[in-house]
Amino acid sequence: MKITFWGHACVEIDEAGKVLLFDPFITGNPAAPKRAASVKPDFILLSHAHPDHLGDTVAMATASGAQVLTTNEIGIMLAGQGVNAMGMHIGGRVPFAFGELKLVLAFHGSGIAGGQACGFILTLGARKVYFAGDTSLYSDMKLVHDLWGPIDIAFLPIGSFYTMDADDAAVAVAWVRPKVVVPIHYNTFPALKTDVDAFKQRVESSTSSKVVVLSPGDSADL
Ligand code: NI
Ligand code: MN
């Protein structure tokens, strides 16, 4: 599975000929390399509609024909803009061409009135990926491992201010117990400044999870 980090919370997964793109904040994202704009997703997974996640969703979905997978109210809002969107909701588990997607809780605003933010658990072939979205630490995150795991790769925010900080994210790793953690949502803006090397050292010395730090534009085969 090829993972590309485009900065902030924008993550691309290439798996079995499908391109999945999470939270495509590219235009206006100071961390995103220009070539991020040329990604042609098959699916856009949108955790919520804050501008640093909604980002280029409408333009990219319109250009590529990608289906946007998100929570219901955000899906309705996007469909109203002509986007092919499917609005599910927390707890739902839905089969797609790439595998299976489950929407899970994220403690965060949605970015639109009456909406809800979410995280995602994807089953891709034999592997499971947890994309936490923007969220605080919350105790039911233990369910990600206990009921829906084991998780191979977890994308967790560590930047504080809007989400968990690195201390809380280290606790999340201990609960989720992924084989690999990729930290996201840090250092994009001054308010999110975080020592990612300290996070890596702390997690790897206190858990059996490996932390893979990707600079914006970097890819890894995981
Ligand atoms: Ni947000
Ligand atoms: Mn955010």
Q: How far is the CA of 118 from the centre of ligand 2 (A)?
A: 12
Convert the pLDDT of each residue in 164-193 to its tens digit: 999 999 999 999 999 999 999 999 999 999
pLDDT attached to residue 109: 98
What is the 18 CA–ligand 2 centroid distance (Å)? Answer: 25
| Mean pLDDT value across residues 191-210 | 98
Residue 179: its pLDDT value, please?
98
Q: What's the pLDDT score for residue 93?
A: 97
Ligand 1 centroid from CA 197, angstroms: 24
Write the pLDDT tens digit of every residue in 42-53: 999 999 999 999
pTM reported for the whole predicted model: 0.98
Host domain of residue 193: 2-221
Alpha-carbon gap, residue 185 to 9, rounded angstroms: 5
Gap between the Cα atoms of 142 and 148, Å rounded: 10
Q: Compute the distance from residue 120 Cα to the ligand 2 centre, in Å.
A: 15
Q: State which residues have CB under 5 angstroms from ligand 1, the bound ion.
A: 50, 134
The predicted structure's pLDDT at residue 188: 97
pLDDT at 105: 98
> What's the gap in Å between 1 CA and the centre of ligand 1?
26
19-62: per-residue pLDDT in tens?
A: 999 999 999 999 999 999 999 999 999 999 999 999 999 999 99
Give 122 Cα–ligand 2 centroid separation in angstroms. Answer: 20
Rounded to the nearest angstrom, the distance between the alpha carbon of 48 and the centre of ligand 2 is 9
* CATH code of the domain containing 149: 3.60.15.10
Provide the domain count of the chain.
1
Residue 207 alpha carbon to ligand 1 centre in Å:
28
Q: What's the gap in Å between 7 CA and the centre of ligand 1?
A: 14
- 3-state SS of the chain is CEEEECCCCCEEEEECCEEEEECCCCCCCCCCCHHHHHCCCCEEECCCCCHHHHCCHHHHHHHHCCEEEEEHHHHHHHHCCCCCEEEECCCCEEEECCEEEEEEECCCCCCCCCCCCEEEEEEECCEEEEECCCCCCCHHHHHHHHCCCCCCEEEEECECCCCCEHHHHHHHHHHHCCCEEEEECCCCCHHHCCCHHHHHHHHHHHCCCEECCCCCCCEEEC
Residue pLDDT, tens place only, 132-172: 999 999 999 999 999 999 999 999 999 999 999 999 999 99
Which residues have their alpha-adjacent CB atom under 5 A from ion ligand 2?
52, 134
Q: Can you give the pLDDT at residue 156?
A: 98
Ligand 2 centre and the CA of 185: distance in Å?
7
Mean pLDDT estimate for the chain: 97
C-alpha 111 to ligand 2 mean position (Å): 10
